[in-house]
């Protein structure tokens, strides 16, 4: 059952370039691995969706990479600070899997420690862009770690041939590559979110050719069988920008529909 | 009275929040189902957020068959927000809703910044809607009109029973690395604390111009913000994306009604929350 609660930060530990922010659990349910929580980002208008990294008794721990104003604010929290936390939200990984293999890339390792704990430390394959980033691998037991230029997908084929079932989280290109090798993989995706529970339609992405709210259709999706019974196909999240976005109306072959370029009636604008 | 802003609360996903409101306003419904705008649809800014949802909704048939009966079970007065691409769209929707006892009030969304507008003026749309329903009609207007009080007078003359002020105001956010628009639809509707003075001015001007009941919204983040809106008891403060701020996630939380509870009795008798 999801709840909203104001929780105290217990610790903020650097881990390579990442921050492991541990907050008291309060009465919140840690949920299923792969589910997420909306975390207040101090000083920012919107909270940030974060999957749960660890669930030690009495605590919830989140692994963050400070890449924007919200994650920077969260990474700067100190013990004693209080944050509003809302969750658990969305659909996590389906845990009834034979021969699971956890696959993570970069900050995408975030949900894997909790997943590993719940599954009894199955084998894991983790990829990072540097040795410094790879310090986060310490959170996942039984892990084989690769650092660029070696990619996790280069090691993945042997595991898949070995009938392992992939449960992955990472950057979108990695997930696409994983899916090409393991079509039945359970993949955790991400999108900007505002509410986290289906109200605002802000996180809609293209799933199986249809725009769906990732917060309630996902964030974990799988192609066959579907998380919670909903079959899922290709996901197209990347919004490719046209190079001519700024071209004046009429000079672009695909001028965006924009009411300001049409005669204004004055009364409605 | 405290209401949610249309599109900022899903009463079926968070019924405990909706039940604490004085009325629940639905997300805008259009005649046909709409998939909405392409992602990315939201972008946080320094003082609020942009959205370009694009009126994603199941269409009037979907609302009536799948949602309205369940919404009615909440026991909260229902306001249905309607949108369209011509005056006849609005009129047809009002005619359908007129026959539904569950619907207390119809809000005409005349100001979505993320879709093409109907060719008719706001007053023409209200006129068309008025002929098809006896239910109270509230016209939701944009604060960007060059002469908003004049628009308010026009929709009043056309038969509007009240005004909803204000909708989001059009904005653009750029990716700091690429300087390209962050939203898939490029432009979006801005909401957040910076909208409050703009909304207050709209409420002030339109109330003086019309004397109509007004649902005030835009940048309401705290109970004190809400207190500034109902200077007249007939005006109803409404909580939108501000209910989405970190202090009160999600969009409107179970805490939100409590946060504003002191103001429910009207000015002069309110108890300030801490």
Whether B14 contacts chain A with CB within 8 A: yes
Q: Which residues does chain B have within 8 Å of residue A258's beta carbon, measured at their own beta carbons?
A: 186-187
pTM of the model: 0.82
In a domain, B50, yes or no: no
Q: Does residue A229 sit at the B interface (CB-CB below 8 Å)?
A: no
Q: Read off the pLDDT of each residue in B66-87 and give the average, rounded to a whole number.
A: 96
CA atoms within 13 Å, Cβ hemisphere of B205 = 19
A-chain residues within 8 Å CB-CB of B18? Answer: none
CATH number of the structural domain spanning residue B103: 3.20.20.70
Choice among A120-124, B32-36, B249-253 with the minimum mean pLDDT: B249-253
Provide the pLDDT for residue B226.
84
Whether the CB of B34 is below 8 Å from some CB of chain A: the reply is: no
Q: Which residues of A touch B245 (CB under 8 A)?
A: 45-46
Average pLDDT over residues A90-110: 96
Residue owning tokens 């809106």: B229
**Which H/E stretch holds residue B60?**
helix B59-62
CB pairs under 8 A between A and B: 163
Q: Which fold would CATH assign to domain A93-188?
A: Rossmann fold (3.40.50)
Q: Which of A45, A206, A267 sits opposite B192 (nearest CB)?
A: A45
pLDDT band, residue A229 (cuts 50/70/90): very low
Using a CB-CB distance cutoff of 8 angstroms, which residues of chain B are in contact with residue A67? none
Dihedral angle over CA of A253, A258, A260, A262, nearest 10:
70
B268 contact A CB<8A: no
Give me the percent of chain A exceeding a pLDDT of 90: 68
Q: Which residues of B touch A259 (CB under 8 A)?
A: 113, 116-117
pLDDT the model gives residue B241: 52
Distance CA B218, CA B227 (A): 13
Residue pair B251/B244 in contact by the 8 Å Cβ criterion: yes
Chain A segment 78-137 residues within 8 A of B by beta carbon are 83-84, 86
Check pLDDT > 70 for residue B38. Answer: yes
Q: What is the pLDDT of residues B81-133, one digit of tens each?
A: 999 999 999 999 999 999 999 999 999 999 888 788 888 899 999 999 999 99
Nearest CA in chain A to B248: A84
B250 to A196: CB separation less than 8 angstroms, yes or no: yes
Q: What is the pLDDT of residue A205?
A: 86
Per-chain mean pLDDT for chain B:
85
- Residue A241: pLDDT above 60? no
Residue of A nearest to B154 (CA): A267
Give the lowest-confidence range in A38-42, B7-11, B59-63, B148-152: B7-11
Weakest mean pLDDT among A175-189, A214-228, B31-45, B255-269: B255-269
A-chain CB neighbours of B253 within 8 Å are 4, 86
Residue of B60 and A255 predicted with greater confidence: B60
The ranges assigned to domains in chain A are 3-89, 93-188, 191-251
State which residue of chain B sits closest to A4, comparing Cα positions. B249
**Residues of chain A with C-beta less than 8 angstroms from the C-beta of B15:** none
Distance from CA of B231 to the nearest CA of A (A): 26
Is B86 a member of any domain? yes
Which percentage of chain A shows pLDDT scores above 70? 83
CA distance B41 to B29: 18
- Cβ of A86 within 8 Å of Cβ of B249? The answer is yes
Q: What is the pLDDT of residue A89?
A: 96
Cross-strand bridge partners of residue B214: B163
The answer to whether residue A171 scores a pLDDT higher than 70 is yes
Looking at the complex, report in whole angstroms how far the Cα of residue B247 sits from the nearest Cα belonging to chain A.
6
Whether A67 and chain B come into contact, CB under 8 Å, resolves to no
Identify which of A43-52, A155-164, B13-22, B250-259 has the greatest average pLDDT: A43-52
pLDDT of amino acid A223:
73
Number of domains, chain B: 1
Question: Is the Cβ pair A204, B39 closer than 8 Å?
Answer: yes
Q: According to the model, what pLDDT value does residue B222 have?
A: 83
Quote the pLDDT of residue A239: 33
- Taken in order A34, A37, A41, A47, the sign of the CA dihedral is positive
Residue A266, number of CB atoms within 10 A of its CB: 12
Per-residue pLDDT for B163 more than 50?
yes
Compute the distance between CA of residue B184 and CA of residue A103 in angstroms, rounded to an integer: 30
Q: What is the mean pLDDT of chain A?
A: 84
Residue B271 lies in a domain: no
pLDDT number for residue B146: 84
Partner-chain contact A256 B186, CB within 8 Å: yes
Q: Is residue B9 part of a domain?
A: yes
Q: Is residue B269 assigned to a domain?
A: no
Query: Residues 90-119, chain B: which have Cβ within 8 Å of A?
Result: 110-111, 113, 116-117
Is the pLDDT confidence value at B274 over 50?
Answer: no
Tokens of B23: 């009325």
Residue A23, Cβ density class (10 Å: 0-12 exposed, 13-18 middle, ≥19 buried) = buried
Model pLDDT, residue B245:
42
Instruction: Point out the residue among B8, B121, B246 whose CB comes nearest to the CB of A84.
Output: B246
Task: Report the C-alpha gap between B126 and B107 in whole angstroms.
Answer: 10
pLDDT at residue A254, rounded to an integer: 40
* 8 A C-beta contact, residue B106 and residue B80: yes
What percent of chain B is modeled with pLDDT above 70?
Answer: 84
Higher pLDDT, A36 or B249: A36
Compare all CA atoms of chain B with the CA of A240 and give the residue at the minimum distance.
B184
- Residues B186-195 have pLDDT tens digits of 999 999 999 9
**Are β-strands B103-109 and B137-141 bridged in parallel, bridged antiparallel, or unpaired?**
parallel
Candidates B56, B144, B167, B250: best to mutate against A (most CBs of A within 10 A) is B250
- Of the listed B94, B112, B206, B270, which one is catalytic? B112
Task: Please name the residues between 206 and 265 in chain B that touch chain A, using a CB distance below 8 Å.
Answer: 241, 244-251, 253-255
Calculate mean pLDDT across residues A8-29. 97
Q: Which of A171-185, B142-156, B242-256 has the lowest mean pLDDT?
A: B242-256
Most confident stretch, A103-107, A171-175, A252-256, B252-256 = A103-107
Portion 114-173 of B in contact with A at CB < 8 A? 116-117, 121-123, 141-142, 144-147, 150-151, 154, 170
**A93-188 has the same fold as A3-89:** no
Q: Is residue B241 part of a domain?
A: yes
Q: Nearest CA of chain B to the CA of A227: how many Å?
A: 19
* Section A245-260 average pLDDT: 42
B112 is catalytic: yes
A263 touches chain B (CB under 8 A): no
* A40 at B interface, C-beta within 8 A: yes
Domain that holds residue B31: 3-38+55-168+191-263
The percent of residues in chain B predicted with pLDDT above 90, rounded, is 69
Asked whether the predicted pLDDT for residue A242 surpasses 50, the reply is: no
Of the candidates B30, B84, B6, the residue with the CA atom closest to the CA atom of residue B252: B6
Is pLDDT above 60 for B230? Answer: yes
Q: What is the mean pLDDT of residues B62-71?
A: 96
Model pLDDT for residues A27-59, shown as the tens digit of each residue: 999 999 999 999 999 999 999 999 999 999 999
Q: Three-state DSSP class for A168?
A: strand
The answer to the question of residue B176 being in a domain is no
Indicate the residue of B146, B193, B251 with minimum beta-carbon distance to A195.
B251
Give the model's pLDDT for residue B174. Answer: 95
Average pLDDT over residues B148-162: 96
CATH class of A3-89: mainly beta
pLDDT tops 50 at residue A255? no
Question: Is the pLDDT assigned to residue A107 strictly greater than 80?
Answer: yes
In a domain, B270, yes or no: no
């Amino acid at each position: 059952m999801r709840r909203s609660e104001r929780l105290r930060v217990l610790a903020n530990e650097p881990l390579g370039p990442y921050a492991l922010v541990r907050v008291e659990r309060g009465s919140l349910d840690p949920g299923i691995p792969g589910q997420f929580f909306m975390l207040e980002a101090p000083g920012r208008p919107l909270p940030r969706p974060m999957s749960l990294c660890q669930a030690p008794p009495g605590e919830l721990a989140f692994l963050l990479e400070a890449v924007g104003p919200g994650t920077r604010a969260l990474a700067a929290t100190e013990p004693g600070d209080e944050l509003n936390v809302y969750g658990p939200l969305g659909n996590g990984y389906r845990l009834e899997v034979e021969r699971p293999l956890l696959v993570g890339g970069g900050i995408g390792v975030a949900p894997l420690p909790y997943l590993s704990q719940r599954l009894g430390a199955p084998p894991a394959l983790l990829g990072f862009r540097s040795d410094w980033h790879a310090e986060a691998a310490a959170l996942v037991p039984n892990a084989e770690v690769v650092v660029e230029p070696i990619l996790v997908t280069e090691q993945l084929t042997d595991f898949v041939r070995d009938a392992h079932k992939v449960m992955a989280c990472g950057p979108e290109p990695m997930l696409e590559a994983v899916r090409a090798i393991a079509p039945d993989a359970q993949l955790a995706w991400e999108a900007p979110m505002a509410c986290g529970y289906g109200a605002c339609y802000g996180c809609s992405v293209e799933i199986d050719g249809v725009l769906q709210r990732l917060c309630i259709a996902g964030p974990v999706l799988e192609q066959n069988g579907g998380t919670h019974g909903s079959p899922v196909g290709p996901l197209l999240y990347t919004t490719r920008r046209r190079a001519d976005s700024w071209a004046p109306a009429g000079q672009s072959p695909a001028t965006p529909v924009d009411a300001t370029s049409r005669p204004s009636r004055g009364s409605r604008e | 009275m405290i209401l949610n802003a249309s599109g900022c609360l899903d009463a079926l996903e968070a019924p405990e929040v909706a039940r604490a409101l004085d009325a629940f306003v639905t997300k805008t419904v259009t005649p046909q189902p709409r998939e909405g705008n392409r992602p990315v649809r939201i972008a946080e800014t320094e003082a609020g957020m942009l959205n370009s949802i694009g009126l994603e909704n199941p269409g009037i048939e979907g609302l009536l068959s799948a949602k309205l009966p369940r919404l009615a079970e909440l026991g909260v007065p229902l306001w249905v927000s309607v949108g369209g691409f011509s005056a006849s769209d609005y009129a047809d929707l009002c005619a359908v809703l007129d026959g539904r006892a569950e619907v207390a009030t119809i809000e005409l969304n005349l100001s979505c910044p993320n879709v093409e507008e109907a060719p008719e003026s706001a007053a023409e749309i209200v006129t068309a809607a008025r002929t098809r329903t006896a239910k109270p009609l509230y016209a939701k207007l944009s604060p960007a009109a060059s002469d908003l009080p004049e628009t308010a007078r026009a929709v009043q003359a056309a038969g509007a029973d009240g005004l909803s002020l204000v909708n989001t105001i059009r904005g653009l956010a750029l990716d700091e690395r690429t300087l390209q628009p962050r939203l898939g639809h490029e432009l979006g509707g801005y909401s957040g604390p910076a909208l409050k003075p703009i909304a207050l001015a709209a409420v002030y001007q339109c109330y003086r111009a019309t004397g109509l009941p007004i649902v005030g919204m835009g940048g309401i983040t705290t109970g004190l913000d809400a207190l500034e809106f109902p200077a007249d008891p007939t005006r109803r403060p409404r909580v939108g994306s501000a209910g989405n701020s970190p202090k009160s996630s999600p969009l409107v939380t179970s805490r939100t009604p409590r946060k504003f509870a002191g103001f429910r009795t009207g000015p002069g008798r309110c108890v300030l929350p801490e």
